[in-house]
């Protein structure tokens, strides 16, 4: 039982170790329902309770390296279970009830701690030192301190399906429904579902689906315990698949991906017939990816022919139709708004169904970028949407991960050229002496992945020192030939 | 007749796949100096590279591209400057299953920052098949924070095509527009 003095202990928390959207939601909670219990402070030093979003990049590291030794009680928000002394784990999606219950426990602990300090008058206690305003951050680590060689913790099962029963169910609701729910009812606090635009850098680095262990799903039988060393790469080099496509099959595929449009003069006026806007499938897919990334939850995109599951936490897409099959090409070109394209965040039941499907058809799980890349290419076939001007000089922010994307002719030189300097798609094709359709295809697909920077001034330039010698292009060319199998 | 020699350096933490990557593209049986691991590296693999790995790609009679793998343990870092001298580029392999891949990325890019500034870095992320987080996008973001521009690919060090693509990206970055002769 908690007496009044304990209940009145204000929990001072700092939100700097939570992602932007989670911070906004917690701020909303602290301003309303939790206003008499919580108070936001500017730094973790000022806080008497550490609030750490374990899924927010670097927050966990800061906690383990810096804050943990302060021995302050902590509230750990995470979708995966966390077991640490003096910390309370709050599972996401978070409920206001869970927060209030945790607050009660923390108030009790702080009151107990305060009583102990009074009786012991222990000035060495970090909490009492902290309250007098002293900082407990230890000396910063050397710049080149390499992290210890420790296996990352083995993924733990998270029975979130069960826990979801205690939280606000968000299944079968669209984003607008969620937002209105959150706005109207503070109890409907769902820390992972909101409409705030977040940068992808803030995507929680969690490896789990809402109702289970995503790594378990992704790797199946490769799951291991923390004590067990990771499987070593086998000494044998993996041979290439036995059935390599023939030259004509490759050409056929390239035709599907990049079309057969003839080159245009750069000076020609580009009319409406030049452009081809995203297919309904592609625009729906992009919307689903955007929604999934914003709320960091699985999203189902529903077509009569196929159900497409976007899983941002593991950076995957599940699609029952083989994307290299003609059925997929037909889906992209044929589907329209009458045929569906509705999307919603996965319900608990759907997550269970998905887990079953993945275990039965692991090959239907695609890398998210790879799926979007191929879908864009198949949708456009060498054309450009109206939003992309082939005469405008743009830059490539980052190389696509070409080892996992479907390649087409000249993709590597295009990436290198565009990465080296901002150019227009026309100029890329001209400088490399290649058909324009390949430059256009790259431009379009890279743009779908968010890799194109329309404002070249915003590009990061390499901090380089002049080379003593020019690159030996002849040697490079011969080496490239060897590497591509010549 | 003189022989033209060039070097490509493979680096990264213990167990990231440096030895395997070199083996996958080398024309010769690689020379490796693996020893029984006696320290923390043992937690990850029974044998570890203590001096360097060596492989080679032969380009005709008089041209060689030497492939050197650095030892993964930092106590051997005195060798890194020696190994990189005259190198044309750096392949950094990061093991995505380690506790803090971001710190690994930071560590190695700082350790080789002079070489990276003068030549070209490519980053290959290994073990992403079993450890999906962080993803390639996260690595791109971290490289942005370090003000480093480099291709980042998910790779399986055992797959020749993956390692080959990494090296091709390095060469193309050094000489955009280079033709395949």
Nearest CA in chain B to A142: B107
CATH of domain A4-131: 3.40.50.2300
Mean pLDDT value across residues B26-40: 70
pLDDT score for A322: 94
Cβ within 8 Å, pair B138-A57: yes
Mean pLDDT value across residues A95-112: 81
**Which residues from chain B sit within 8 angstroms of residue A464, using beta carbons?**
117-118
Give A354-387 pLDDT, tens digit per residue: 999 999 998 999 999 999 999 999 999 999 999 9
**Position A403 confidence tier, pLDDT thresholds 50, 70, 90:** very high
Could you give the 3-state DSSP secondary structure of residue A9? coil
Instruction: Report the mean per-residue pLDDT for chain B.
Output: 86
Q: Please, are residues A364 and A431 in contact by the beta-carbon 8 Å criterion?
A: no
| Cα separation of the two ends of chain B | 23
Mean pLDDT value across residues A258-275: 86
Residue A173 to residue A191: CA distance in whole angstroms: 16
Give me the residue from B118, B132, B151 closest to A467, CB to CB: B118
Nearest CA in chain A to B100: A147
Pairs across A and B, CB distance < 8 A: 230
Cβ within 8 Å, pair A463-B104: no
Note the ipTM here: 0.89
Residue B86 to residue A340: CA distance in whole angstroms: 59
The token pair that represents A163 in the structure block: 């826990």
Contacts of A355 (CB under 8 A, 6+ apart): A209, A211, A212, A217
The token pair that represents B80 in the structure block: 């890194």
pLDDT score for A16: 83
A370-374, A478-482, B35-39 — most confident range: A370-374
Q: Characterise A433 by phi-psi region: left (phi > 0), alpha (psi -120 to 50), beta (else).
A: left
Please tell me which residue, A468 or A271, carries the higher pLDDT value.
Answer: A271
Nearest CA in chain B to A366: B129
pLDDT score for A91: 80
Report residue A443 CA to chain centroid gap. 22
Nearest CA in chain B to A240: B159
Cβ within 8 Å, pair A482-B60: no
**Position A175 confidence tier, pLDDT thresholds 50, 70, 90:** very low
The token pair that represents B152 in the structure block: 């980042």
The token pair that represents B44 in the structure block: 């990850």
Cβ within 8 Å, pair A315-B40: no
Q: Please, are residues A149 and B41 in contact by the beta-carbon 8 Å criterion?
A: yes
Positive or negative, the CA dihedral A485, B4, B9, B15 is positive
Cβ within 8 Å, pair B147-A207: no
Could you give the 3-state DSSP secondary structure of residue A131? helix
Q: Where are the domains of chain B?
A: 4-174
Task: Flag whether residue B1 sits within 8 Å of chain A, measured between CB atoms.
Answer: no
- B contact residues 2-31, partner A, Cβ 8 Å cutoff: 4, 6, 13-15, 17, 20, 23-25
Q: Where are the domains of chain A?
A: 4-131, 249-458
CATH of domain B4-174: 3.40.50.300
Cβ within 8 Å, pair A476-B148: no
Candidates B94, B152, B170, B171: best to mutate against A (most CBs of A within 10 A) is B171
**Which residues from chain A sit within 8 angstroms of residue B45, using beta carbons?**
229, 232
Residue A7 to residue A79: CA distance in whole angstroms: 28
Residue A376 to residue A373: CA distance in whole angstroms: 5
- B contact residues 137-176, partner A, Cβ 8 Å cutoff: 137-138, 140-141, 144, 147-149, 151-162, 164-169, 171-176
pLDDT score for A132: 35
**Position B35 confidence tier, pLDDT thresholds 50, 70, 90:** low
Shortest Cα distance, chain B CAs vs residue A358, angstroms: 15
Nearest CA in chain B to A428: B177
Confidence (pTM): 0.65
Neighbouring CB atoms inside 10 A of A232's CB total 13
**Exposure letters B12-51 (e unless 16+ CB within 10 A, then b):** bbbbbbbbbbbbbbbeeebebeeeebeeebebbbeebbbb
Give me the residue from B6, B159, B168 closest to A238, CB to CB: B159
Mean pLDDT value across residues A20-49: 77
- B contact residues 58-97, partner A, Cβ 8 Å cutoff: 59-60, 63, 65, 74, 88, 97
């Amino acid at each position: 039982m908690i007496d009044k003095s304990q209940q009145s202990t204000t929990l001072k928390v700092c939100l700097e170790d939570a992602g932007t959207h989670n911070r906004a939601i917690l701020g909303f909670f602290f301003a309303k329902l939790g206003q008499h219990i919580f108070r936001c402070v500017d730094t973790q030093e000022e806080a008497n309770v550490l609030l750490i979003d374990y899924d927010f990049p670097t927050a966990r590291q800061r906690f383990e390296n810096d804050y943990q030794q302060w021995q302050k009680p902590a509230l750990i928000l995470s979708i995966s279970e966390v077991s640490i002394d003096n910390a309370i784990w709050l599972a996401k999606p978070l409920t206001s009830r869970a927060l209030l219950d945790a607050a009660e426990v923390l108030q009790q602990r702080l009151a107990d701690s305060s009583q102990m300090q009074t009786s012991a008058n222990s000035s060495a206690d970090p909490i009492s030192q902290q309250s007098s305003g002293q900082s407990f951050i230890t000396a910063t680590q050397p710049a080149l301190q390499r992290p210890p060689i420790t296996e990352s913790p083995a993924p733990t099962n998270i029975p979130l399906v069960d826990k979801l029963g205690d939280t606000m169910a968000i299944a079968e609701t669209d984003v607008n429904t969620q937002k209105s729910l959150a706005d109207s009812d503070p109890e409907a606090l769902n820390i992972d579902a909101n409409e705030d635009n977040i940068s992808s850098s803030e995507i929680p680095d969690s490896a789990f689906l809402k109702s289970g262990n995503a790594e378990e799903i992704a790797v199946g039988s490769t799951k291991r315990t923390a004590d067990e060393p990771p499987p070593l790469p086998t000494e044998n080099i993996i041979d290439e698949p036995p059935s390599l496509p023939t030259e004509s099959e490759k050409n056929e595929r390239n035709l599907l991906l990049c079309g057969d449009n003839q080159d245009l003069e750069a000076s020609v006026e580009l009319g409406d017939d030049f452009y081809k806007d995203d297919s309904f499938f592609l625009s729906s897919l992009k919307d689903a990816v955007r929604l999934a990334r914003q709320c960091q939850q699985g999203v189902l995109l529903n077509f009569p022919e196929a159900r497409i599951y976007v899983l941002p936490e593991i950076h995957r897409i599940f699609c029952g139709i083989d994307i290299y099959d003609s059925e997929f090409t037909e889906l992209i070109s044929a589907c329209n708004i009458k045929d569906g394209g509705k999307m919603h965040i996965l319900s608990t039941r759907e997550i269970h169904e998905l887990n079953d499907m993945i275990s039965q058809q692991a090959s239907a799980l695609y890398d998210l970028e790879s799926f979007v890349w191929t879908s864009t290419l198949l949708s456009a076939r060498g054309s450009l949407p109206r939003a992309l001007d082939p005469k405008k000089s743009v830059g490539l922010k980052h190389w696509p991960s070409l080892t996992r994307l479907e390649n087409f002719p000249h993709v590597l030189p295009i990436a290198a050229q565009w990465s080296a300097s901002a150019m227009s798609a026309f100029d890329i094709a001209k400088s490399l002496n290649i058909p324009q359709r390949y430059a256009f295809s790259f431009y379009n697909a890279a743009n779908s992945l968010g890799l194109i920077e329309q404002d070249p001034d915003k590009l990061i330039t390499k901090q380089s020192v002049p080379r003593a010698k020019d690159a030996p292009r002849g040697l490079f060319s011969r080496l490239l030939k060897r590497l591509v199998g010549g | 007749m003189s022989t033209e020699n060039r070097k490509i350096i493979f680096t990264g933490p213990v167990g990231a796949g440096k030895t395997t990557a070199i083996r996958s593209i080398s024309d010769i049986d690689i020379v490796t100096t693996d020893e029984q691991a006696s320290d923390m590296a043992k937690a990850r693999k029974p044998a570890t590279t203590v001096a360097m790995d060596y492989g080679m790609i032969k380009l005709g009679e008089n041209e060689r591209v030497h492939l050197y793998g650095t030892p993964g343990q930092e106590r051997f870092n005195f060798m890194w400057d020696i190994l990189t001298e005259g190198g044309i580029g750096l392949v950094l392999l990061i093991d995505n299953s380690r506790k803090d891949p971001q710190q690994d990325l930071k560590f190695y890019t700082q350790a080789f920052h002079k070489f990276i500034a003068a030549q070209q870095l490519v980053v290959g992320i290994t073990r992403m098949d079993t450890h999906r987080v962080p993803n390639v996008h996260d690595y791109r973001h971290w490289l942005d924070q370090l003000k480093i521009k480099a291709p980042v690919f998910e790779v399986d060090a055992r797959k020749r095509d993956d390692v080959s693509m990494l090296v091709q990206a390095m060469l193309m970055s050094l000489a955009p527009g280079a033709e395949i002769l």
